Amino acid sequence: MWGWSGTRCTGLMQIQIKVEDGILTDVKFKTFGCGAAIATSSMVTDLAIGKTIEGALKITRNDVAENLGGLSPVKMPCTRRLKII
C-alpha cells in the first residue's frame, strides 16, 4: 500500500496487484484524496504494469509527475510524500 501524509496533503491509496511469472499483469487502485492524488495513483498503476515487483518499487515520485506532464507546486505533495507503507 502506498500512502501520503503531511500537513498540507493527506490521502490514502490502496493498490492490488496480479502477478504472473514474476510480472505485474494487472494493477488496480482505490484512492481517497484530491484529484491530483487520484491522477497520481492512476499513473503509478500505469507505470507498474509489465514490471517485476522490484521494478515497480523503483518507480519514483519524479517518474509519476513527469508522466503526468507535471503537477503544480501546490499539488506536488501528492508525489513528494509517496512512500510504501
Q: Which of 13, 65, 71, 78 is catalytic?
A: 78
Active site annotation includes 34 = no
pLDDT of residue 83: 52
pLDDT of residue 19: 95
pLDDT in tens, the chain (85 residues): 454 444 455 667 788 899 999 999 999 988 887 788 888 889 989 999 999 999 998 988 888 888 988 877 776 666 654 555 4
pLDDT of residue 76: 67
Give the domains, in start order, of the chain with CATH numbers: 2-84 (3.90.1010.10)
Active site annotation includes 9 = yes
**Do 12 and 3 meet the contact criterion of CB atoms below 8 Å apart?**
yes
